[in-house]
Amino acid sequence: MARGMKRHADPVDGLLLLNKPSGMTSNRALQMVRRLLNARKAGHTGSLDPAATGMLPLCFGEATKVCAYLLNADKSYRVTAKLGSAMDTGDGDGQECATAAVPELSAERWNEILQGFCGESTQIPPMYSALKKDGKRLYELARKGEVVDREPRSIRIDEIVLLEHAGTRLVFRVHCSKGTYIRVLVEDIARRAGTVAYTARLHRESVGDFKSENMIDMAAVEALAEQGPLPLRAKLLPADVALVDLPGVSVAIDDAARFCGGQAVSVDTEEQEGLARVYAAGDRFLGVGLLSGDGMLAPRRVFQTQEKTP
């Protein structure tokens, strides 16, 4: 390609579950994969800190329309905490700001502490976060040494499983709601144990119904891309796999065009009310609709997908 010529991108649709490597921002990872796919449109859901690894759902083309649904999904993490030392950022990228002795606790006691965090509670977001205060990112203020009041946020911890405890090392798996700051959780756990801690390693294992076995490493992505864009595009998942928690309904062939054109259509379904995945001819995904309970289905998000070919 001649210098100065703009690269022509393709209308690529689908999802890729990237196992984000450490030391890379979520946006950089997205742009790398986008370039390898030669995709025109791209987005990601649920940013990971640069030091964190694990599942980062990347959405391309029409699949970017599911980003909002994935942002609300529960997530699970494998967490390694370093006890006895606190960092101003809450992770290993910061500066040590406190130390404390680490009590010798049994596995039973650690389990008791961890289980005390299960359920619904509130959490104060850390200063080193992307949240905004008066138009400024909190981490920008924190880098200037400023500390501002932050409103507590509601979170939910569904499960915490102790995996390892030895000396200053504590490892656990947590399944939690969106908006949960693991760095804050680690600090709160340490405080309850009578010490301080920071998140030494963080690996996201799942987002919603997406599991770790479906992830692909960046090295594998690059290896496939060396064969051209098609082998990598074959790894993309269809957009509707991100919506499996929604019931599926079918519309008549004659109603598909009306639904995609923004009109409510009638459906024959046992589902009463709420959002649903909408298909035509049984398998062509049309988008997300809202069932009103009277047999009518109104479009909420239309996807310009192609008809499946035999």
- List residues with catalytic annotation: 49
Helix (H, G, I), strand (E, B) or coil at 280: strand
Q: Phi and psi (nearest 5°) for 102? A: -105, 115
DSSP labels for 97-156? EEE-PPP---HHHHHHHHHTT-EEEEEPPPSSSS-EETTEEHHHHHHTT-------EEEE
What number of helices (H) and strands (E) belong to the chain? 8, 18
Residue with tokens 């988008």: 287
Please, what is the Cα angle at 140 between 136 and 144, to 5 degrees? 120
HEC letters along 297-308: EEEEEECCCCCC
CA nearest neighbour of 77 among 138, 17, 163: 163
Structure-token pair, residue 261: 């054109």
Residue with tokens 């987005």: 43
How far apart CA 259 and CA 270 sit, in angstroms, is 19
